Structures are given as structure tokens and as C-alpha cells.
Structure 1
Amino acid sequence: MVGPAGRRLTRLEADPPAADRRHVHDEPTGAPDPRPPAPPAGRRRRAGRRRLLAVPLVAGCALAGALLTGVVPRPGQPPAAAGAPAASPDRHVPVAAPLPADRPTPGAGAAAAPIGSPPPAPPGGGPHVFSLLQDNGVSPVAYDPCRVVHYAIRPDGAPAGGEELVHAAVARISQATGLAFRYDGPTDEVPSPQRETYQPARYGDRWAPVLVAWQTEAEQPDLAGDVVGRGGSTAVSLGDGPRVYVTGTVSLDAGQFPEVLAAPDGATTAAGIVLHELAHVVGLAHVEDAGQLLHPETVPGVTDLAAGDLTGLARLGRGQCVPGL
């Protein structure tokens, strides 16, 4: 159905990258996405030396684009003035179209200006790749800096100290991007490929929070074998407007994380895994440079964000504010 000014709101599911460095697939308004789906991004363990690998997340192979429906008011406009009016049968008074049930009230939780300020990129920058670019082929898709990025943790199966690992990684991503994050507390929501971006009964009138969960291989087949984590985000756009990430998911292997933590330097390794996945959530894809945390294969001593990672994250913190969403 049609949104404000005849625009449709398009929803694309996203998980991290494939050969084309994209983990979100867009779909032109009213037409199927001609691009092939990309496989996902996460981290896995390799037999033998048991080094950790970041592998592509399954990125929408079975996740088709969908259209968010309904008429919404423009930012700052009261609901009674939104959309095309309909005549009341008894009084012939214009009646506003109902708000759609598949997205929050436009502008809910949006500030008038960016909430935080991203730091400058390191001198000289460094190699980095964005998971998805806007239609101009240059600007990355990012979270709206005028909104708080909420996150929640499903505690089931978490190892000792697991929640602290997540909070520390979120704080590091916030520092590197300037994005503001807020912890909503524990949740019983189970990650799903069909996860709804808007769940008002559970989370209220806003986009669903980024969901971090420990899962077994039975719950999450993408964690089978040596895979220990996967992460990605979902982007939406209002018609031909800029695409914006609105929520994401991180799944961590409940069976393998205790083993990772028990190994020498295990706490540092585990922290790097969680940080790597959250960097995927905010919009970074893998790089070939072995000195970056977003390199597909972990390297001894590289457990924190390096110059290229920080350069990309600083750019992702300068995304567009889109109050219409």
C-alpha cells in the first residue's frame, strides 16, 4: 500500500556479506530485486589449529523483500492530517487513514539532530568495506544517528560473563561510531529469519531492538559445525528515500563459547568475536587485510578494532537522519 506522498516503504532483510560485499538486498519499489541473494557472515572455528574464521552470513537467500503497508503522517504532522482523507458517511467529515500496523509512528524516538558525534578517522585511514551502499554507490547504509539504537539480550544459554562481553562490545562500537545505544534488558524473543522489525506488543511503538542471543546448533542451523557467531541488520526505505538500518540480530554459539572462553586468552578472543559481529550489525563487511578485526580469519593479537575498521565505523556514524521512518 502507499505511504505519505504516494511513497511505499520497502523492507529488506539483511545479514552480512558475500562475494559482492553486501549483506542487505534492496528491492526497487514495486519490483523484485534483480540481484542474486548473498550468503551470510559470521565467525567459525577451523579444525586442526582451531583458528577462528569469519565466514559470510546467510544473507537473505530465502528472505524476499517485503513492502510495509499503510498510510502514515509526515514528521510533525498529527495523525488526523495524514494521508488522503476519507468521507464520513454521516457527516461528510474527512477521516484520517489509520496508522499502519507494520511500523512505528513516524519520528517516534527521533531527535532533531544527531545524538552523538563520531570520532575522526585515524590518520591515513585503512581498508574497510561497507555491507550496503545507497543508490549513489558511495554513501553507506547506516543506522539513523538521530535515534538511540536499542538492544536486548536473550540470556538463555549464555556463558558466564556473556552479558558483560556484549555490553563491552556495544560500548566499543558506540565509541567508534558515535551512535547512542541503550540496553532494554533481557528478552525471551528467539531469533528468526522471519523476525519482525516492528513488535509493538513486546517492545512498544518503535523499531524492535537489536537482538543478541546465544543459540544451539539445533535452534540456529547456521551455527552448525565450526561456526561460532553470525550477525547482520535489516534496512528499510521510504520509497526512493535513503535506506536505513532499523534493527539487527547477533547469534552466538551457546555450545562453543564456553570452550572459546576456556582457552588461553579465551576472554580476549571471545570479546573479539562479539565485537566483530556487532561491527557487521552496524554496517561493516569483511576485508582482506589481516590486520583488521573484520578480516575473515582471526589473527593472533588482532582482537580489537584496527585503523581500517575504525575508519569505516566513523563513516557509519555519519549516516542520514530520516525522521519519516
Structure 2
Amino acid sequence: MGGVLPLLVVTVAVTGGLLWLREAASEQLDHVAQIISVAGGRPPLPADAGLSRLVAAPLPPAGADGYSLLLTNTRGVAAYDPCRPLHLVVSFEAAPPTAQRILDDAIAMVSPAAGLRLVVDGATDELAAEERQPMDRARYGNRWSPALVAWTTPERVPTLDGSIAGMGGSVAVADRSERLHNVSGIVHLDGPELTRISGQRGGHELAVAVVAHELLHLIGLDHSEDPAQLMFAENSGQTRLGDGDRRGLAALANVPCRREF
């Protein structure tokens, strides 16, 4: 397979910072979106790829702003196929006691708003790393690697040190018409920090918001310049999707079934 998913790259396309700031700080340019080659081959169409959407397309609120898209080219935005599940696997290396509940609640917030079916396949022995194979046949078989949600530590992922409690993003491939298709990705979460956050009063909701923010980066949203949005980089207590977030997700959902990949 041509390429790996590096965690700190400036790509050939427009990307955005994949951050969650615990406190006000200057936004850092950490990028994990990338376009990869399929010169080394691609997996077969998965058995669960359908001919129609699995989740109803979201209806955007009135208006046209409040969001940014993470990875685009002249043919449109990089997005996941709405006609197949987005599979996730979870590394519990440094997970809070309530990690499963936090992730479940974040998925429940994001999935209908994104018009995607997010499916957790279960635990994995794969740990967070600075590079990840978009196809790991030895571990996951002849398919695109499911997106990795890793409860990890700043020691393993140095980008999580300091003011960053999570990061996320995807790799995309281009089809014959140069349209971009997200095929795999990562969400890395600072387990010790989220354990601390979730143990505070109201902390579960804040932890869910952190994970939802990173899932939205995985799906394809960049940071918003509007502080009322969950995708604003310097969150000051926002725990629900804003109208701009929903408009961005609707834009990402407005793509056809992906039969080539």
C-alpha cells in the first residue's frame, strides 16, 4: 500500500489544525490529513458497502457559515462514504474508567448529524503511533484499516503534551476523476487528562465534547472561527453541536456512494 498516516505533516491539500485546547492558547498547526497513493493496490469493495445511504442525510440549519472543511481539492471535499459504515477500533491503553460511555455518547451526538453510521468493531491491540498504515492486512485483513480511537498518553504521542487533549484526522485517496475519498483515520486522546476531566463535576459532558470534536476532525471538519461552535479551537465550555458544525457536517454528507473504494 502506498503511504502511511503521519501525524505531523503539511499536505498537498488545504488542511486544518487538529486540536482541542484545554485553555486559551495560540492555535498550533498540527495536521494529520493526507492524500495517499493507491499505486500499491487497494482492497476490494467491502461487503457492507450499499447502494444507498445508511443514515438519513442531515438537513443543515439556515445560513451558510460557521464551519470550515478539512481537506478539499478542486473536485470537492474529502468525505466518508455515506452508504457504508465507518468502522472504528479502540485502544484502551490509557482509558478512563468511563471510556466506553464517553465514546458511545460522542458517537450518538455525531452520527445522526453527520449522516454516517459509526460502528465500533471492538478493542484492538494497536497502539497510537506517529505513523499508521492505511491498510494493515496482518491485523485487520484485506481492507482499509478501521479508524483507530486510541486512549493514549503524551509520552506515546508527544503532540498531546501541553494544551492539547486530542487530535484526529483521516487519509484520503483520489479516484480516477480526482474526487477525494476518506478511507481511514485516527483519533488520539489524552487518557490521563480526560480521566481528570471526566471525574470533575460536569466532566462527563466535557469529555464527550472533546471526543466529539476529534470525531468531527476524523469525519472532515476543520476548526471554525465562531466560538459558539464545538469546532472552535479554544473551547470555553461548548458541549453541543452548533449550527455551523451542523452546516459543515451536512456539506460533508452531500456526497454519493463510493463504489471505487
**Which residue among 164, 169, 175 is the counterpart of 1:227?**
164
Amino acid at match of 1:283: G
Deviation (angstroms), 1:111: 1.2
**Which residue among 10, 16, 19 is the counterpart of 1:42?**
19
Q: 1:313 to 1:54 in 2, by over 3 A?
A: farther
Report if aligned partners of 2:173, 2:182 keep a CA contact under 8 Å in 1: yes
Deviation (angstroms), 1:265: 1.7
User: Tell me, what secondary structure is at the counterpart of 1:68?
Assistant: coil
**Which residue among 216, 238, 242 is the counterpart of 2:153?**
216
Deviation (angstroms), 1:169: 1.1
Work out the CA distance in 1 between the residues paired with 2:185 and 2:26.
Answer: 18
Q: 1:146 to 1:320 in 2, by over 3 A?
A: same
Tell me, yes or no, if structure 1 residue 110 matches structure 2 residue 84. Answer: no
**Which residue among 133, 151, 155 is the counterpart of 2:72?**
133
Work out the CA distance in 1 between the residues paired with 2:7 and 2:229.
Answer: 20
Using the aligned pairs only, state the percent identity.
32
Report if aligned partners of 2:5, 2:132 keep a CA contact under 8 Å in 1: no
Amino acid at match of 1:248: G
Q: 1:205 to 1:109 in 2, by over 3 A?
A: farther
Q: What do residues 30-64 of structure 1 show as CA deviations (whole Å, max 9, x unaligned)? A: xxxxx7x9674111323xxxx6x69446225xx98
Report if aligned partners of 1:44, 1:54 keep a CA contact under 8 Å in 2: no
User: Tell me, what secondary structure is at the counterpart of 2:77?
Assistant: coil
Q: 1:177 to 1:309 in 2, by over 3 A?
A: same
Tell me, yes or no, if structure 1 residue 316 matches structure 2 residue 252. Answer: yes
Amino acid at match of 1:247: S
Larger Rg: 1
Amino acid at match of 1:134: N
TM-score by length of 1: 0.72
Aligned length: 261
Deviation (angstroms), 1:261: 1.6
**Which residue among 132, 152, 172 is the counterpart of 2:89?**
152
**Which residue among 22, 25, 31 is the counterpart of 1:59?**
31
Partner of 2:123: 186
Amino acid at match of 1:113: S
Tell me, yes or no, if structure 1 residue 241 matches structure 2 residue 178. Answer: yes
Amino acid at match of 2:195: P
Q: RMSD of the alignment, in Å?
A: 2.7
TM-score by length of 2: 0.88
Deviation (angstroms), 1:195: 0.6
| Structure of higher RCO (CA pairs closer than 8 Å, 6+ residues apart) | 2
Deviation (angstroms), 1:161: 0.7
Report if aligned partners of 1:233, 1:281 keep a CA contact under 8 Å in 2: yes
Aligned 1:1-325 pairs, distance under 5 A:
13=5, 25-26=11-12, 40-46=17-23, 55-56=27-28, 58-59=30-31, 66-70=36-40, 100=41, 103-106=42-45, 109-136=48-75, 139-300=76-237, 302-325=238-261
User: Tell me, what secondary structure is at the counterpart of 1:320?
Assistant: coil
Q: 1:66 to 1:298 in 2, by over 3 A?
A: closer
User: Which sections of structure 2, spanning at least 5 residues, go unmatched?
Assistant: none
Amino acid at match of 2:250: A
User: Tell me, what secondary structure is at the counterpart of 1:310?
Assistant: helix
Amino acid at match of 2:37: L
User: Tell me, what secondary structure is at the counterpart of 2:195?
Assistant: helix
Q: 1:318 to 1:15 in 2, by over 3 A?
A: farther
Q: What do residues 144-175 of structure 1 show as CA deviations (whole Å, max 9, x unaligned)? A: 11221000111111001111111221222111
Work out the CA distance in 2 between the residues paired with 1:54 and 1:303.
Answer: 21
Partner of 1:20: none
Amino acid at match of 1:111: G
Amino acid at match of 2:118: F
Work out the CA distance in 2 between the residues paired with 1:168 and 1:157.
Answer: 19
Partner of 1:86: none
User: Which sections of structure 1, spanning at least 5 residues, go unmatched?
Assistant: 1-8, 17-22, 27-34, 71-99
Deviation (angstroms), 1:312: 0.8
